[in-house]
Structure 1
Amino acid sequence: MFPEYDVIVVGAGHAGCEAAAAAATMGSSVLLITMNMHTIAQMSCNPAMGGVAKGQIVREIDALGGQSGIVSDKTMIQFRMLNLSKGPAMWSPRCQSDRMLFAQEWRNILENNPNVDFWQDTAKGILIEDGKACGVKTSLGIEIKSRSVVLTNGTFLNGLIHIGEKNFGGGRTGEKAATGITEQLVSLGFESGRMKTGTPPRVDGRSLDYSKMEEQPGDENPSKFSYTDTKSLVKQRSCWITYTNSEVHEILRTGFEKSPMFSGRIKGIGPRYCPSVEDKINRFADKDRHQIFVEPEGWDTVEVYVNGFSTSLPEDVQYAALRKIPGFENAKMFRPGYAIEYDYFPPTQLKSTLETHRIKNLFFAGQINGTTGYEEAACQGLMAGINAHRNVNNLSPFVLKRSEAYIGVLIDDLINKGTEEPYRMFTSRAEYRTLLRQDNADIRLTAKGFEIGLADEQRLLNVQKKQKDVGEIIASFSITKLTPEEINADLELLGTAPIREKCTLTQLLRRPQISIDQLAEANPKVAELLENYGSDAIHQAEIHVKYDSYIEKEMQLVEKMNRLEDLMIIENFNYDVVSSLSFEGREKLKRTRPATIGQASRISGVSQSDISVLMLFIGR
C-alpha cells in the first residue's frame, strides 16, 4: 500500500509542516502523518507570529528557504515592528494572523509539493532495526517504512487537559492524546519528563465594548517577514488593550481551591514567561491590575483571543471574572481556557542536527524538545527536515552556529544546557545579537540555504544585489561631503550641533539624532545619491554606518569562539581515559557527546579547567 519513504514526519503542526516542506523541497520523498487533516498548521494558541526574538527566527526561516514567513505575510491582518525605540538588534517583527487562512495556506503549500504524501492516522511507535529508525507503526496496525523519522508531536504525547477539577486526555481541545511513543522510547533508554502549557478562553467579539479599551493599531507603513515578493498589508485590523482589576482578582481567587495548578494535580512545569492569570495574581499579589490584549482571530470571524488571561480555573469562575474586565461586561464565551500537560524528552539526548544519540535517523523537533512557541517549533522542524534529508543522502550535517542565527542559539542551548521548563527565545539569550538582526537574516543565511538546495536561485540573486547596493551606499557616504551652508539649517531643525567645516555623510549619519531618511529629506544631494536603491539596502547601510564599531567588536569575539568550534572531537571519544576531568564534567560530556571543543565549553557543568584539560589531551 505504501512505498518506502525517505522521511516520515509525525505531526503536522508548525514543526512538522516546516520539516516536511524542507525535506520535500530538497528532493526527499516525504510522508506527513497527522491525526486530523483539518488541523494542519493549526494555531492552537494565539493567532500571531513573531515578537521579540521570535520575529528574528521567522525571518531566518524565510532566509534559509522555509515557509513560515511567506505564510505569515499572506495571512496577516496586522503588522507591528516592536522595540523601534531601541537599537536595531532589538527590532522585532510581529504580526496578527488570520487563524483559518494561516492553516489553509500551509496546507496549500504542502499539497502543491509533489514530494509530500499525507496519511491521517496516529503513530503508535517507531520501527527500529539495528539501532536505526526505519519507519512507524500506526493505530490502524499499518507499518510504513522509511529511511528516517522526524517526531513533531507537540502537546499530544499522553496529553492531559485540565479545567478546574475536571481533566481528560487530549492533545488539544476536541482532539485525543497520542499514546505509545513515549512508552516505547523510555523502554529504549530515553529520559522523558512532563511539561504544561495553557490557553485563555475565546470570546464573541460582538459582545465586547471596545470604547472602554485602548486601541492598538498596526504600523502606518507595515513591513513583512519574507524576503520574497509577498505583498505588504494595505488594510489592517486593530487589536485592543484592557486591564484586569481587584474585583477580577477576587473572583479568580475563589476558584484557587479547585485550581489543578495549586492543588498539585498538574505535575508538569509551565512557561515562566507566559504564566496563567491565576499564577500572575498569586505571584504578583502587589499588582492591582494586569494587561489583557484583545486580539481578533481573523478577517471574517467574530472570535477573539483574550491574550493575558490563560487559565485552567473552573469555567464558571473564568466567565464571572471575565465579565468584570472593562469592555467585557457583556462578554459571551465561546470556550473556556484550559491547561494541558504533555510528555517531552530532555533535548540533551540530541545531536546538534536534532538527531537522537540513541537511535540513528530519528529526529525530534518542537515541543517534544521542551520548547514553547510556534516560531521555536518551526525552526526546529526546518533544521530536522534538512538534516533528515541530508542523512539519508549521506551528506554532511547542516548546523548553524550561535554567531550565525538565533536558530543556532536555540538548538545549542537545548542540546548543551537542556531545559526543565518550556524554553522560549529572547534576544538576551544571544551573545552576538548585534550581528543577528532581523534586517540581515538574508545576508547571513540565504547563501547557506541555496547551497543545500532549499533557497532558490532568485533568493540568492536578490541577496547579492542587496549586498552590492549596501556596499555602494556606504562607499558613497564615506566620500560625499556637505558644507556648513548646505546642511546647518537642517541640523538645527533636527536638534543637533552645526558643523564648522565640510563633513562626510558618514560622519553626519553617525549622529544619533539623524536618520538616513532625514538626511535625504533635508538635502537634495543625499536624495539623489539614494534614488536608485531600495529601502532594504538603504536602511541596511544606515545600520552598518551607525553601529560599525559594535559590529566589528562582535566579529572579533566570533573569530575567537570559532577557533574552539574548529577543534573537532571524534564521535566516540572515550572521556574515561582523561583522568584529570572533573567527575561532573566527565558525566556531562559523556551524556551530551559534543562535536567540538566550542560546544563542550557551553555544556552546563563542564568547567573551564575541564576544557583546558580536554584541549591539552586532544592536542597531544
Structure 2
Amino acid sequence: MNYRGESADVIVIGAGHAGCEAALASARLGKKTMVFTVNMDSIAMMPCNPNIGGSSKGHLVKEIDALGGEMGRNIDKTYIQSRMLNTGKGPAVYSLRVQADKSAYSKTMKHTLENTENLYIIQDEIVKIITQDGVIKGVVSENGGIYEAKVVIIATGTYLNARCLCGEVITESGPNGLKSAKALRSSLEELGIKMYRFKTGTPARIDKRTVDFSKMAVQDGDEKITPFSFENEDKDISREQIPCYLTYTNEETHEIIRKNLSRSPLYAGVIEGTGTRYCPSIEDKIVRFSDKDRHQVFVEPEGEFTNEMYVQGMSTSLPEEVQKQMYRTIPGLENCRFMRTGYAIEYDCIDATMLKLSLEFKNIKGLFSAGQFNGSSGYEEAAAQGIIAGINASMYIDDKEPFIIDRSEGYIGVLIDDLVTKGTQEPYRMMTSRAEYRLLLRQDNADLRLTEKGYQAGLISEERYAKFLRKKELIEEEIKRVNKVVLSPENANSVLRLYKSTEISTGAGLSELIRRPELDYFKLSPTDTGRPQLPSYIQEQVNIQIKYEGYIKRQMLQVNQFKKMEEKLLPETIDYSKISGLRIEARQKLDKIRPENLGHASRITGVSPADISVLLVYLKSLSREA
C-alpha cells in the first residue's frame, strides 16, 4: 500500500551535475528541496572523463560560478592539475581545463548538498510524475512513497532506461554498473513527452603500475593557477600538481580495430541511440578519419589516491579482449592491465523543443528539465542547465518572471537557446563557434556579465556583491587613467625597441600603444610611472578591454540589434495558421516551438527572413489595434 511522504516546494529527480546545481539553487533561494538519486554514492559522479572545463566548457563553469553556482568552487577544492587552453589565440577562446580528483569531487559536492539548509537527499527511484489538469502535483517513488511538490525538475542524466554495451555483452544498467532507472519512461510518455535514444561512451581505466611513462610525453599543469571560482585567487588554491601523459595510436592499433568492427555494437546495428559527433569512439575515428595514421591518446590520473588512469581518446564499445589487444599496441601501454573495461551507454532523453527558455515544459506547468535528459552532453552543459532550472523553479513558485540568459549575455544562453529553439538529433556539445558574440562572452569577464543577474536572482551574497562592485570600480578607474596617459619618446622608445615595435617621435597615448599587436598593458608597464598596484585579475581586464576596444564596440552594436529583436514579444495565444504570408513550413515550425519573441523565432530552422518580416508586420498591426 502506498504511503504519503513529505511534501516539498521542489523535487529534483537525479543528483548528477544538473541535479546538484538545480537543487542547490532552489534550496539557497529558500525553497524546501528534495533531491532523489538511485544511489547516494553517485552524487556528482564523473562516470567518464576526469576533468572539468575545456574549450567553451570552461566558459560555462565560469558563468555558473558568476551566477552563484557550485561547480567552480567544488573543482577549485578538488583539482589535481590545471591548464589554460588556447593561449596562443585571442582571449575570447581561452579556456580553463582542470583534471579532477573524481572521488574527492563527488564527496565534496555530496558534503555541500548534505549541509545546505532546505535541502534533503533521498536514495530512491522516481517512477511516476503526478499531474492534475496539466499542473505538477508530485511524484511517486519505487519504494511506494508519494511526495507532493509545486515543482519537479527532471535531471536523470544517462540513467533513464539505460543499458551498457561491450561487444556482444549488453547490461541493463546505468554508468559504472549502477542501477538503470527503468520505470519513469512510461509515465513521461503518458504526459505526451517525446523521447529519443542517445548514446555516449567511455574508455577503459588502466592500472598506473603497468604503464611505461618513459615512452610518453609529460603534460604538466600551468605554473600560475587560474581558479574557476571568482571568489578565489591563485594563492588560495595553489597546490602540487599531478602530470598527465601523451602517446599515440598506430597502424597496428587501427588494424586490430578494423578487423573487429563487426563486433562493435556501433557497427553491428545493436546500438539504437545516436552518439556525439565531437567525441567519437576510437572505432568511429578509424572509420571516419581513415587517412590519419595515428590519433592522440592522453593518459590521465583519476585521482590523487588511486592507481586508475583514464585513457582519453580511446572510448570504445568493442569486446573486452579486443580492447586489451588494441590498447597494448600503444607506446607505454604494452603491458597495461585493465581495472575497468570501456563501454558504450544508451539512454533516454527528450526533444528539448518541448521546453520554454526557462526549461519548463510548455504543456505541463511546474515541470522543468535539465542536463543530458535535454539532449546535451558533458558535465558542464548539464550543470549550466541545472542552475537555470533551479532558479526558475523558485521564480515559478514565487510567481515571478522567468530568469533568462540570452545569447548576448552568456554561453549558458547560447546552450539553452540552441536546445530549445533548434532541438538536437545528437548529443549537443558546447563550442565557442556556436556563440556569435564570443568576443564579449569571454570566460575572464563572466562575473562582469552575470554576477549582477545572480545577485538579483538571490544567489550572490551581499559580501560577494560588494567585492564585485569594487572590482568593477577599479577596472573602470584604471581604464580612465590609462586613457589619459601620454608617453614621451624618451620614456617609451627603449621598450618599443625591445618588442620590435615602431618607435615614436612625439607623445603617444598609452592606450594607443597597448592596442599595437606586439604590445600590451603588461609589456608597457616600465613606461607607466604612475601605474597603481592592482591585483593581476584587474590588470588582465584593463588590458583586454583597452586592447580590443574597437572589436568590442563593433560587437556591442550587433548585440543592440539583437536585443531589439528579443524585445519584440510574440503573444502566447498567437494562431500562426491565420497569419497570411507565412509559408506552410514556417507556420508548422512556429506552432511547434511557440517562440517567445521575434529574435527567438528568427533562429528556428525552417523560418526564413521573409517569414520574420511577415511576423514583424503582424506585430505592428496588433500594436495599432491596441
What TM-score, normalized to structure 2? 0.97
Q: Which residue of 2 aligns with 1:535?
A: 536
Instruction: Give 1:222's match in structure 2, choosing from 220, 225, 228.
Output: 225
How many residues end up aligned between the 2 structures? 616
Q: Distance in 2 between matches of 1:122 and 1:490?
A: 66
Q: Does 1:164 align with 2:167?
A: yes
CA positional deviation for 1:134: 1.5
Q: Is the aligned partner of 1:501 residue 2:506?
A: yes
CA distance in 2, matches of 1:350, 1:442: 27
Cross-structure match for 1:378: 383
The residue number in structure 1 matching 2:520 is: 515
Q: Is the 8 A contact 1:561 1:598 kept in 2?
A: yes
Matches within 5 A, 1:271-350: 271-350=276-355
Corresponding residue of 1:605: 606
* Aligned 8 A contact 1:484 1:498 in 2: yes
Separation of aligned partners in 2, 1:540 and 1:30: 38
| Aligned AA (2:44) | A
The equivalent of 2:475 in structure 1 is: 470
Q: Deviations over 1:378-403 (max 9, x none)?
A: 00010001101110111110001100
1:404 aligns with 2:409: yes
State the 1:158 CA deviation: 0.9
Deviation readout 1:257-310 (Å, 9 max, x if unpaired): 111000100021100010000000111111110000111111111110000000
Q: Sequence identity, in percent? A: 47
The aligned runs of 1:421-440 (5 Å cut-off) are 421-440=426-445
Which of 381, 399, 424 is 1:419 aligned to? 424
State the alpha-carbon separation in 2 of the partners of residues 251 and 474 from structure 1.
Answer: 59
How much has 1:65 moved relative to structure 2?
A: 0.3
1:67 paired residue among 62, 65, 70: 70
Aligned equivalent of 1:11, options 14, 24, 40: 14
| Correspondence for 1:206 | 209
1:197 equivalent in alignment to 2:200: yes
Match runs of 1:422-461 below 5 Å: 422-461=427-466
Q: Helix, strand or coil for the counterpart of 1:133?
A: strand
What is residue 50 of structure 1 aligned with on the other side?
A: 53
Shift of residue 233, structure 1, vs aligned partner: 2.0
Structure 2: tracts of 5 or more residues without a match: 622-626
**Is the Cα contact below 8 Å between 1:530 and 1:538 reproduced in 2?**
no
The answer to which of 487-496 and 591-600 deviates more is 487-496
Report SS of the residue matched to 1:529.
coil
Q: Which amino acid letter does the alignment assign opposite residue 598 of structure 1? A: G
Letter in 1 for 2:74: V
- Mapped to 2, the partners of 1:23 and 1:449 lie a distance apart of 13
How far off its partner does 1:188 sit? 2.5
Residue 174 (structure 1) aligned with residue 177 (structure 2): yes
Return 603-612 or 415-424, whichever deviates more: 603-612
* Equivalent position of 2:365 in the other structure: 360
| 1:324 Cα offset (Å) | 1.0
Q: Which amino acid aligns with 2:520?
A: S
Q: Distance in 1 between matches of 2:260 and 2:317?
A: 10
Indicate whether 1:145 and 2:148 are aligned.
yes
Q: Aligned partner of 2:141: which letter? A: T
Contact 2:366–2:396 (CA under 8 A) maintained in structure 1: yes
State the AA in 2 paired with 1:123. Answer: I
Deviation at 1:220, TM superposition (A): 1.3
Q: Determine the C-alpha separation between the residues in 2 that align with 1:342 and 1:328.
A: 31
Give the Cα separation in 1 of the matches to 2:175 and 2:136.
27
Query: How big is the alpha-carbon RMSD for the aligned residues of Structure 1 and Structure 2?
Result: 1.1
Q: Deviations over 1:181-218 (max 9, x none)?
A: 22222232221111100000000111111111011111
Distance 1:408 1:41 in 2: 23
Give secondary structure in 2 for the equivalent of 1:293.
strand
CA distance in 2, matches of 1:516, 1:232: 26
Q: CA deviation at 1:106?
A: 0.5
Give me the whole-angstrom Cα distance separating, in 2, the residues matched to 1:186 and 1:578. Answer: 32
Moved more, 410-419 or 172-181: 172-181
1:124 pairs with one of 123, 127, 131: 127
Query: Which letter maps to 2:107?
Result: Q
SS of the equivalent of 1:282 reads helix
Per the TM alignment, residue 36 of structure 1 is displaced from its structure 2 partner at its CA by 0.4
Is the Cα–Cα contact under 8 Å of residues 160 and 169 in structure 1 kept in the other structure? yes
User: Are positions 1:245 and 2:247 aligned together?
Assistant: no
Aligned residue type for 1:285: S
1:5-28 CA distance string (max 9 Å, x none):
010000000000000000000110
> For residue 588 of structure 2, what is the aligned residue in structure 1?
587
Q: Secondary structure at the match of 1:33?
A: strand
The answer for the alignment partner of 2:571 in structure 1 is: 570
Out of 490, 498, 506, the residue aligned to residue 485 of structure 1 is 490
CA shift, 1:232, in A, is: 2.7
- Deviation of the 1:163 alpha carbon: 0.2
Deviation digits for residues 133-153 of structure 1, max 9, x if unmatched? 111111112111100100000
Deviates more, 1:283-292 or 1:180-189: 180-189
Counterparts of 1:427 and 1:325 in 2: how far apart (Å)?
32
Tell me, yes or no, if the aligned pair for 1:254 and 1:317 is still in contact at 8 Å. no
SS of equivalent to 2:19: helix
Residue 519 of structure 1 deviates from its aligned partner by 1.6
* Secondary structure of 1:147 counterpart: strand
**Counterpart Cα distance in 1 of 2:17 and 2:336:** 31
Q: Distance in 2 between matches of 1:145 and 1:366?
A: 23
Partner of 1:263: 268
Which amino acid in the other structure matches residue 355 of structure 1? E
Unaligned runs of 5+ in 1: none
Contact 2:199 2:346 in 1 (8 A): yes
Counterpart residue identity of residue 585, structure 1: A
Bigger drift between 496-505 and 304-313 goes to: 496-505
TM-score, length basis structure 1 = 0.98
For 2:587 and 2:28, the matched residues in 1 are separated by: 41
Paired with 1:179 and 1:581, the residues of 2 have a C-alpha distance of 43
